[in-house]
Structure 1
Amino acid sequence: MTRAPRAHVVIKTGNPTSRTTRLCSVLRLLSVSAVMSLEDTFASDTGSLSVLNGTRPEQQLHPNFTIWIPGIVIAAVYSIIIVIGLIGNVTLMKTCLLVKSMRTVPNVFLSSLALGDLLLLITCAPVDASRYLVDRWLFGRVGCKMIPFIQLTSVGVSVFTLTGLSADRYKAIVKPLDIHRSSVCVRVTTIWLLSLTLAIPEAIFSDLHTFTTSHTNETFVTCAPYPHKGALHPKIHSMAFFLVFYVVPLFVISVYYCFIARSLVRSSVDMPAEGHPHIQKQIKSRKRLAKTVLVFVGLFAVCWLPSHVIYLYRSFHYEHVDTSLGHFIASVCARILAFANSCVNPFALYMMSKSFSKHFHQQLCCTSPRRMRSQNSVSTNVTTV
C-alpha cells in the first residue's frame, strides 16, 4: 500500500503567500479528481499548506493537521445536507414501504432512488467534507477504491431510476393497455446491477498517485482515477462520465416526455366537455404524476450540470490549473449542489403530493401502528403521488 508522505504543517497567520499556496494546492487537487472528486484529498510534504485566514498553534487538531476556518463552514453545510437528506429519504422509504396505499410501481422506484441517495450521503458526503478539514487522505488505498465506486453507483442508480420512472409513465399514459413483461422489482434490481457494473472500472483504476505541482514544484499524494501521465486520461474519463451518466439518460427521458406530452394533449382535445368524471380524474392523476417525475428529472439535471461542466473544463485545461478564487468558489458550490440533489427529492414530493405529505407527517412523527392501520384503511382509495 502506498503511504502518503508525512505532512509538516507550518502555520503562517495572515500570510498572503500562504493563502495563495493553499488555494493553488487545493485547485491542483481538484484538477485531478473525478466529477464530484470524492477521492481527492491530498497529503503534502512541503509544510506549506496553511490556513487561508490564519490559525493559532493551539488550534491544531493533530501535529499533521490544521483547522481551516472556511473548511469548517463548508463542512457544516455538508453536515446540514446529510442530516436533512437522512431524515427525508428514510421517511420517504418508510412511507412508500410501510403504508399499504403507497405501495405503487412509481413509489417503488422512488424508494430505490432514496436508497441510492442515502448510500451517497452516508459514505461519500462525509469523505468529501473531510477534505476541507484536514490536508491528507485519511482513508487509505481501500477507501480510495471503495468511495469512488460507491459514489458512481449512487449516481447511476439516480439517473437510471429517473429514466425507468419516465419509461413507466410513458407506458402508463401512452400505452396503458400494454402488459408489463417484468415486475417492478426486476426492473429496480436491473438498475442497481447496471450501476454497480458501470462503477467497477472506477474501483479498479482509482488509486493513490503522487503528483507534482508545476508552479511550486511541490509533491502530494492523492486518490485519483488515473495517473498524471498526460491529458488524454482526464478527457476520456470526463467525457465518458458526462455522456453515460448525464447526456444519454436525459436525452432518453426527453424523448419519453415528448410522447407523454403529445398523448396528454390529444386526450385533452378528444375528451368531451361532459366526459366521464372517472376518466377525467384518471387523466388528471396521470398528468400530476408525470409532472412529479419531470420535476425530479429537472432537479437532477440542474444540480449535476455544474459539476459536469467544471470537470470537463478542468479536464480540457489539465496542464493549466485555474487558481482564481472565483473558480475555487464555483467548484465548492458545484460539489455542494450535487450532494444537495440527494436530499431534495422527498421534499419536492412532499410539496407536490397531498397524499404523500399526509403519510410523510405520520411517519415523521412516528404515529402509533394502531392509528396507522386505521388511517390506512380509510385511505386505501387515495391516489398516490
Structure 2
Amino acid sequence: MDDETQHEIDDKYTPYVERPETYVVPVLFFMIFVVGVLGNGTLVVIFVRHRTMRNIPNTYILSLAMADLLLILTCVPFTSIIYTFESWPWGITLCKISEIVKDVSTGVSVFTLTALSAERYCAIVNPLRRLQTKPLTVFSALIIWLIAILLSIPDGIFSELQENKTAENESIVFCTPFPDNRTTSEYRKYNVATKALIYYLIPLWIIAMFYISMAKRLQASANEIPGELQGQSVSQMKARKHVARMVLCFVFLFFICFLPYHVFFIWYFFNPNMEEDYDSFWHCVKIIGFCMSFINSCVNPVALYCVSGLFRQYFNMYLFCKPFRRLRRTLPSSMENCETSFNSTFRKPLQHTITETQSIHRNMGILFRQNTQDIPVMGVVKNL
C-alpha cells in the first residue's frame, strides 16, 4: 500500500467517539428494548390469560409477538453496541446466536404475514367455508418456525469473528456471516440476493396478489348484493375488511422497516466500486437500515394499540391499570360466521347471557325484552 492510498484511508476514517451514531444508536435500542418487551410481552399475556382471544388471526399475531420478543431479548442488548465500540466484545458464541436469531425472527415475521394474508383472502373469498381451523393454524405456525430455523442454519455455521487492522495498526474484531477464509465474493452475492428474495421480494409479491384479489372480490360482492340483504352483508364485510386492514398495516410496517436494509446490502455487494463509492450517504443508509430492522420488532403492538379498540383496552388494563370496559357492538346474525380479532372476544359470553335470559323468559311464559338498546342484536336473539 503506497503512502497516497494510506493517506486517503486515514482521511475517510473517523474515530468512534466523533461519530453521532455512537451515542444515538444505544439510546434508540434502549427504547426498542423497553417498548418491545412491554408491547410483545403484554400480547403474550393477553393470549395466555384470555381464551376468547385465541382465534385464527390472533394465533398468527401471537407467533409474531413471540418472534419479536425472542429477537429483543437475545439480540438487542448485544447488537446495540455495534456502532458504539469498534470491536465485538461478546465472543463467537453470541455472534452465531445473534445471526441465527435475526434470521429466525425475520423469517417467522415475513412468513407469518404471508400466512395471515392468505387466511384473510380465504375468509373474504369463501366466507361460508371453514378452510382453516385452529389446529391447522397452530400447525401452520409451527411449520413456519421450523422453516425459519432451517433457513437460519447457514449463517449460524459460517458466522465468525474477523479481525482487521486500522491505520494506527490497532485490531478491530467484528461479527460477520461472511468471513473471508470460508466464503468468496460470489457466495456473498448469492447469500444477499437469496435473502432479499426469500425474506422480502417474493413474500411482498404473494401478499400483493392476495390483497389485489381481495379488493376485486369485495368490489364484485358490493355490486352483486341484493338490496334486501345488503345491510347484513355490508356489516359482515366491514368486520372482515377491518381485520384485513390490520394485517395490511403489519405488512406495510415490515416492508418499510426492512427496505433500507436490503437496499444497502444489495448495493454494497453488487457494486464493484463499493469501497470508492461508499460515502456519508450510504453510511447513513446502512445505519438507518440496521436500526429500522430492529424497530420492526416493536412496532406491531403499537400498531395494534392504534387500530384495535379491543386490544387497546387490554393494553390499558395491563400496562396502565385502567378498568376494562365491555365493548358493545350491534351485529347482524350473519356475523356469527365471521371470526375476527375484534368481535370474537365478546360473541360467546353475550350469546351465553342472552340464551340464559331467553330460557328464563320462556319458563315464566313471558316473552319480552328489556333495554333492547343495550343488547347487541345477535343470531340468538332473533327468535325472541
1:384 is aligned to 341
Tell me the percent identity. Answer: 34
2:199 is aligned to 245
CA contact (8 A) 1:163 1:249 kept: yes
| AA partner of residue 25 (structure 2) | I
What secondary structure is seen at the aligned counterpart in 1 of 2:17?
coil
CA contact (8 A) 2:57 2:340 kept: no
The verdict on how the C-alpha distance between 1:307 and 1:350 changes in structure 2, with shifts beyond 3 A counting, is same
Match of 1:336 among 272, 278, 291: 291
Match of 1:224 among 176, 180, 183: 176
CA contact (8 A) 2:155 2:177 kept: yes
Q: Quick one: distance in 2 between partners of 1:365 and 1:105?
A: 27
Establish whether residue 187 from structure 1 lines up as the match of residue 131 from structure 2. no
Residue 262 of structure 1, CA deviation: 1.4
| AA partner of residue 283 (structure 1) | M
Cα displacement string for residues 304-353 of structure 1 (whole angstroms, at most 9, x for unaligned residues): 01100001111123663244222222211121122111111112122111
What secondary structure is seen at the aligned counterpart in 1 of 2:161?
strand
CA contact (8 A) 1:355 1:383 kept: no
Q: RMSD of the TM alignment (CA)? A: 3.0
1:347 is aligned to 302
CA contact (8 A) 1:231 1:318 kept: no
| AA partner of residue 148 (structure 2) | S
Q: Quick one: distance in 2 between partners of 1:296 and 1:252?
A: 15
Residue 268 of structure 1, CA deviation: 1.2
What secondary structure is seen at the aligned counterpart in 1 of 2:80?
helix
Q: Comparing both chains, which one has the higher relative contact order based on Cα–Cα distances under 8 Å and sequence gaps of 6 or more?
A: 1
Q: Quick one: distance in 1 between partners of 2:329 and 2:203?
A: 39
| AA partner of residue 252 (structure 1) | I
2:153 is aligned to 200
- Which structure 2 residues correspond to residues 314-325 of structure 1 after superposition, within 5 A? 314-317=268-271, 320-321=274-275, 322-325=277-280
Q: Quick one: distance in 2 between partners of 1:95 and 1:274?
A: 39
Tell me which stretches of 4 or more aligned residues in structure 1 moved more than 6 Å: 16-19, 215-218, 376-379
Richer in helix (by share):
2
Q: Which has the larger radius of gyration?
A: 2
Q: Quick one: distance in 2 between partners of 1:212 and 1:72?
A: 24
What secondary structure is seen at the aligned counterpart in 1 of 2:197?
helix
What secondary structure is seen at the aligned counterpart in 1 of 2:85?
coil
2:219 is aligned to 265
1:288 is aligned to 242
1:356 is aligned to 311
The verdict on how the C-alpha distance between 1:308 and 1:173 changes in structure 2, with shifts beyond 3 A counting, is same
Residue 17 of structure 1, CA deviation: 8.9
Q: Quick one: distance in 1 between partners of 2:246 and 2:41?
A: 19
Q: Give the stretch that moved more between structures: 180-189 or 256-265.
A: 180-189
Q: Quick one: distance in 2 between partners of 1:72 and 1:355?
A: 38
Establish whether residue 236 from structure 1 lines up as the match of residue 190 from structure 2. yes
What secondary structure is seen at the aligned counterpart in 2 of 1:227?
coil
2:109 is aligned to 158
Aligned residue pairs total 324
Establish whether residue 74 from structure 1 lines up as the match of residue 29 from structure 2. no
**Gap runs ≥5 in structure 1:** 1-15, 23-48, 53-67
The verdict on how the C-alpha distance between 1:19 and 1:87 changes in structure 2, with shifts beyond 3 A counting, is farther
